[in-house]
Homo-oligomer: A and B are copies of this chain.
Amino acid sequence: MLVIRRAVRIEWADCDPAGIVFHPRYFEMFDTSTHHLFEAAGWKKRDLLSEFGAAGYPVVDTRARFLASAAYGDDVVIETQAAAFRHSSFDVEHKVFRLDADGERLAVEARATRVWVGAHPDDPKQVKAQPIPPILIARLSGQSEAADGG
């Protein structure tokens, strides 16, 4: 699988009155990491949508377990990869490692199921699940290089 690791500084803006990351912010970070994963596979989000005529790849199910907190000023690494592909849906896994003085500590484990959707043929305001493009699966699986930039 194609795996990306993204260094993120935990900012004041990410934290709640307890001084630690407000957990909804992790879901923002995972969303961002997912788009970066696709970019590593060869496509920035807007290019991906236009090249394949897709409307998006919204999250339909997500779960996260918070094992250790992170506070503002902490540095973390978010590791992201696709974990499973089905006809029109796929799973993405995220792990957040907090960089402590004595090494990396797993702080969050999460998984999101996303559906590949296009405009609905009968109603342009609705979307409909579509098959995931095989080239995208191949790239995210690490079976095809993104060296040509998409």
Contact = CB atoms under 8 A, between A and B. Distances in A.
A12 interface: yes
Interface in A24-68: 24-25, 27-28, 31-32, 35, 44-46, 55-56, 58-67
Given A63-B63, A64-B61, A28 B35 contact: no
27 contacts: A11-B31, A11-B32, A12-B22, A13-B22, A13-B31, A13-B32, A16-B17, A17-B18, A18-B55, A18-B56, A18-B58, A22-B28, A22-B31, A23-B27, A23-B31, A23-B58, A23-B59, A24-B24, A24-B28, A46-B72, A60-B66, A60-B67, A61-B63, A61-B64, A62-B63, A62-B64, A63-B64
